A and B are shown apart, each in its own frame.
Chain A
């Protein structure tokens, strides 16, 4: 595993890669935490419109410290700003946008993704206080549901699996996974490898993946900017 930790992409590089697939004008919801980084890496000339489920579309970046207005926050309870084009709405409208198929992309984190597209990302099943937020809603309705994740857990276990063993967030909902080693689509019940980092072999990648990786023709090279490493 030490070898993988040396060659794998950083979280910023994974977020950068995911950002390259978001077209100009797309309506996008970014999950709390790691997925929020995607907003930083929009290619020049493209401007996605970000949705936060607590009732804001097309918000601006965080304000300067000390300039926060606590009536203006995102789903992660962090202060945001308004900009020309911002819209406010209540929760029922917000989740109509989510479940009603109006978002182009939802990007979430994951504990496990199964080759069927099942996602587990809300509970480690170990007790404590359970919390789900909007995750179970966000995985239904967006035209694309993408996951950002390390390819393996801290202990080296695959996060791309045959079947999820942790409590499910949704069945058959994930369409693409951006990992620290590869870009993988979920198609018709199997993983389709689209890109891999050039420093790992197909065999080595398969060894750290919990279900067969299929490929159609040439697998592209996954190369992210060095300065984000």
Chain B
């Protein structure tokens, strides 16, 4: 088994109107090179699931700026430079589903774990729970939330082997391991490919069963550094 692939080939399966989870929290853990490959691929009408809504004119912001995203599901669509999303949102050109961060996380986790719905205290009695079923458990009120699944997940890892076993780097882990579980096809960019057996099995964070394609991207770009340099993609 060898899941190694080229970025352009891996993202070429993404179709118009697909739902795509993109890992990262701000720029930390964002698979910038995969997102840029998706821009080059040129698909439209995407629903994107990410914690944020992009920053500057690279990565997710560039994907939105190219008009490829119709809907965003996120918790915090603000950043140092959120103009790309903000302008489109205020002009009614992109739909936003705002989800509390822990609920977004758990909906993805549930999607990956085969749990169609769950109850959480988060959001009870607020505008973000409007219209959702509620129930009392042990004297406290909870909101029913549904799983989130995607056609594709694009994530970033540190080490990968040919089976797709992964480790992550520091706080760049964030949403990446859970998104890996919740998509039909998961594409990972890893900073370094290693031989099978080179990652101690005790240290594997994402087992390869969740991964379909592995792309090695040495020295990956950091969104923060690209933005400080005023980068624009394409």
Contacts and interface: CB of A to CB of B under 8 A. Distances in A.
Interface of A: 52-56, 68-73, 77, 80, 82, 88-92, 94-95, 98-99, 118, 123, 128-137, 140-141, 167-171
Contacts, number: 141
Q: Which of B25, B85, B105, B127 has the most CB of A within 10 A?
A: B105
Interface string B151-171: 000000000000000001111
B174 A136 contact: no
Contacts of B78: 129, 131
B101 A132 contact: yes
Contacts of B123: 136
A170 B140 CA distance: 13
Contact of A77 (B26, B121, B125, B168): B26
B126 A136 contact: yes
Given A55-B171, A132-B98, 18 more contacts: A53-B101, A70-B28, A71-B28, A77-B27, A77-B79, A80-B171, A90-B174, A90-B177, A99-B120, A128-B90, A129-B89, A130-B77, A131-B98, A132-B100, A133-B75, A134-B101, A136-B126, A167-B127
B171 A54 contact: yes
A19 B171 CA distance: 26
A140 B121 contact: yes
A171 B125 contact: yes
Nearest to A82: B170
A70 B225 contact: yes
Contacts of B178: 90-92
Q: Which of B79, B98, B168 has the most CB of A within 10 A?
A: B98
B225 A95 contact: no
Contacts of A137: 100-103, 122
Contact of A134 (B75, B124, B225): B75
Interface string B69-84: 0000001111110100
Nearest to B222: A70
Contacts of A123: 127
By Cβ-Cβ distance, the 4 closest A-B pairs, closest first, are A137-B102, A95-B102, A136-B100, A134-B101
A55 B82 CA distance: 23
Contacts of A171: 124-126
A98 B102 contact: yes
Contact of A168 (B77, B126, B174): B126
Interface in B180-234: 205, 222-225
20 contacts: A55-B25, A70-B222, A70-B224, A70-B225, A71-B172, A71-B222, A72-B28, A77-B26, A77-B79, A90-B175, A95-B102, A129-B86, A130-B77, A132-B128, A134-B75, A137-B100, A140-B121, A140-B124, A141-B121, A170-B125
Contacts of A95: 101-102, 105-106
B126 A167 contact: yes
A189 to B, nearest CB: 15
Nearest to B53: A129
B66 to A, nearest CB: 20
A73 B55 CA distance: 15
B149 interface: no
B109 interface: yes
